């Protein structure tokens, strides 16, 4: 017995789709590079990472066929990102709060 296999990957995307995705990706690369020279303060980082996330989504959804994959695969991806978030956020609970009680080393 297996979990639902809603027959993945029998779906063949057209070459045009891939070309469109590629062009978008290249455009975003140039965009993020250009924007980096503009001082948007705090937003510079947000935009750089936002564009990177968009590019990641494009690659994952189209090139890696997440669009057509099983629920389990999607769950695996989301789970992985969640764990990355745990690693980053809980590590930061230390490094971001080091001075809160104002005693060195506490």
Site size with another protein, rule: CB under 8 A: 69
Q: What are the tokens at 81?
A: 């990102």
- Per-residue binding letters, 43-82, with another protein (x by CB under 8 A): -xx--xx-xx--xx--xx-xxx----xx-xx--xx-xxx-
Of 73, 61, 66, nearest to 20 by C-alpha is 61
Q: What are the tokens at 15?
A: 């070459």
**Number of neighbours of residue 50 by Cβ within 10 angstroms:** 12
- Per-residue binding letters, 3-42, with another protein (x by CB under 8 A): x-x-xxx--xx-x--xx-xx--xx--xx-xx--xxxxx--
Does 97 contact another protein by CB under 8 A?
A: yes
Name, in order, each residue with C-beta under 8 angstroms of 35's C-beta and a sequence gap of 6 or more.
44, 47, 48, 51
Whether 8 and 20 have beta carbons less than 8 Å apart is answered as: no
Query: Which positions lie near another protein, rule CB under 8 A?
Result: 1-3, 5, 7-9, 12-13, 15, 18-19, 21-22, 25-26, 29-30, 32-33, 36-40, 44-45, 48-49, 51-52, 55-56, 59-60, 62-64, 69-70, 72-73, 76-77, 79-81, 83-84, 86-88, 90-106
């Amino acid at each position: 017995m297996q979990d639902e296999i809603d027959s993945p990957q029998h779906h063949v995307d057209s070459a045009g789709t891939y070309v469109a995705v590629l062009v978008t990706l290249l455009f975003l690369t140039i965009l993020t590079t250009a924007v980096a020279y503009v001082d948007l303060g705090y937003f510079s980082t947000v935009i750089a990472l936002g564009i990177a996330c968009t590019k990641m989504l494009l690659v994952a959804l189209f090139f890696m066929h997440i669009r057509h994959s099983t629920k389990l695969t999607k769950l695996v991806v989301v789970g992985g990102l969640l764990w990355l978030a745990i690693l980053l956020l809980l590590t930061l609970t230390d490094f971001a709060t080091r001075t809160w009680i104002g005693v060195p080393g506490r």
